[in-house]
Homo-oligomer: A and B are copies of this chain.
Amino acid sequence: MTARASIVVTGTEVLTGRVADRNGPWLAEQLRVLGVDVGHVVVVGDRPGEVRAALDFLAGTGVDLVVTSGGLGPTADDLTAEVVGTWQHRPSEVDPELEHRIAAVVERLSARRNWRVDPAAAAAGVRKQARVPAGSTVLEPVGTAPGLVVPPAAGRSGPLVLVLPGPPSELQGMWPDAVADPTVQAALGARVELRQQTIRLWGTQESTLAVTLRRLESALDGLEVTTCLRDGELEIVTRYAPDAQPRYDALLAAVRDEYAGTLVSTDGSTVDDLVARALADGGLTVATAESCTGGLLSARLTARAGSSGWVLGGVTAYADPAKQQLLGVPAELLARVGAVSTEVAAALASGARETFGADVGVGVTGIAGPGGGSEAKPVGTVHLCAVGPDGTRERSLVVPGSRQAVRERTVTVAMQLLRSLLAGGPPA
């Protein structure tokens, strides 16, 4: 039988939407890949009654494991450890050994960061973080907060509660220890760890793919296939037990066959991965010339560690004089066809290539809006061009949506254009 788990995310700042929760989705994903069925993610503020209500609810759904995140800080409103302890009928007490270890961490951090610290307040905070439910297992702190494995008290039933800190880096850093804990292992029970595969398409509608999936339905038994439009790509994620591998292989073959023209990758590679790999493997350099995307393409290309090996640089040419002087776009061309045109996109791409002495140049021009549109060139009109040693790719389109959406989607189109150019295949 598949183990079942749910997640409680605590924190008023998360509940009220001031901070986006990253832990719930991350934990759900980890549990799912471990073969655990996730039922609910409950977000609650820092109020003991509401944390207890969430635990009661989840226990009532019969889950084997509840994972909590947050509420382990040094201040009084961080109360998860105490609330979970009481709920499991395990009163909390200070663990003196743990207190020493946390004190040492706090001292080191304070020294390194030059904090002005009130010693009494710091000691009280350390003591608070070292208070743990009797009989729980401590997971060593990644920051200053320990994690806790809190089983029901002897003679009681109910889910195991795994208490993890709120900062994502601490929670994720502690996860391997948490999963390795024997009590957690026992709660997760006999599971089959699932395989997960991702296929990406660019230019296929979700509804079109749905028709294919419906046709294959009987052959997909044992595969959990979800499709999702992400950043313009259609992402197909499939999870399955190892014995369903032949059926996944059949699905993959069908997709390869039917969508060869829009297939980006079958191994989870993103367009960013593919572009970086093609540039690095080909020993090619790249430079950009951007108008409406304002540097976002350059930022995306340089987001990757090691990108200084292939990115020479870029120009954001917002004003027309910059397009002329830095990138050699002829004033006559700008006057004749306007800055937002296929001709200027091509001139920008060539200009980037020449200005930086790069193998590949990418030019982007368009109207991000909300102002600046006309009947002939509505908001969202963008022209892109990628020029390399062996060819050129061009694309013109009208991108719907807000200024931000137009800019971001245009950068994605530029990445796909670059991928297509570097792959040497048919135009994107």
A: which residues have CB within 8 A of B?
Answer: 12-21, 24-29, 32, 38-45, 50, 53-54, 57, 60-61, 75, 115-118, 205, 207-208, 210-211, 226, 228, 230, 235, 237, 288, 290, 293-299, 301-303, 305-308, 311-319, 321-322, 325-326, 355-357, 369-372, 403-404, 407
Task: State how many copies of this chain the complex holds.
Answer: 2
A-B contacts besides A39-B53, A40-B50, A305-B371, 13 pairs, CB < 8 Å:
A15-B38, A18-B228, A20-B25, A39-B50, A53-B60, A57-B60, A75-B210, A115-B205, A288-B295, A290-B295, A294-B307, A295-B296, A303-B404
Instruction: State how many angstroms separate the Cβ of A246 from the closest Cβ of chain B.
Output: 24
Interface centre among A301, A318, A326, by most chain B C-beta atoms within 10 angstroms, is A318
Instruction: State how many angstroms separate the Cβ of A59 from the closest Cβ of chain B.
Output: 11
A298 touches B302 (CB 8 A): no
**Residues on B with beta carbons closer than 8 Å to the beta carbon of A15:** 28, 38, 40-41
Q: Give the docked Cα–Cα distance between A285 and B102 (Å).
A: 51
A20 touches B20 (CB 8 A): yes
Q: Give the docked Cα–Cα distance between A319 and B301 (Å).
A: 14
Instruction: State how many angstroms separate the Cβ of A111 from the closest Cβ of chain B.
Output: 15
Beyond A294-B303, A299-B299, A306-B371, is A13–B228 a contact (Cβ under 8 Å)? yes
Contact of A25 among B16, B40, B293 (CB under 8 A): B16
Contact of A317 among B208, B313, B319 (CB under 8 A): B313
Q: Give the docked Cα–Cα distance between A288 and B355 (Å).
A: 17
B16 touches A29 (CB 8 A): yes
A318 touches B312 (CB 8 A): yes
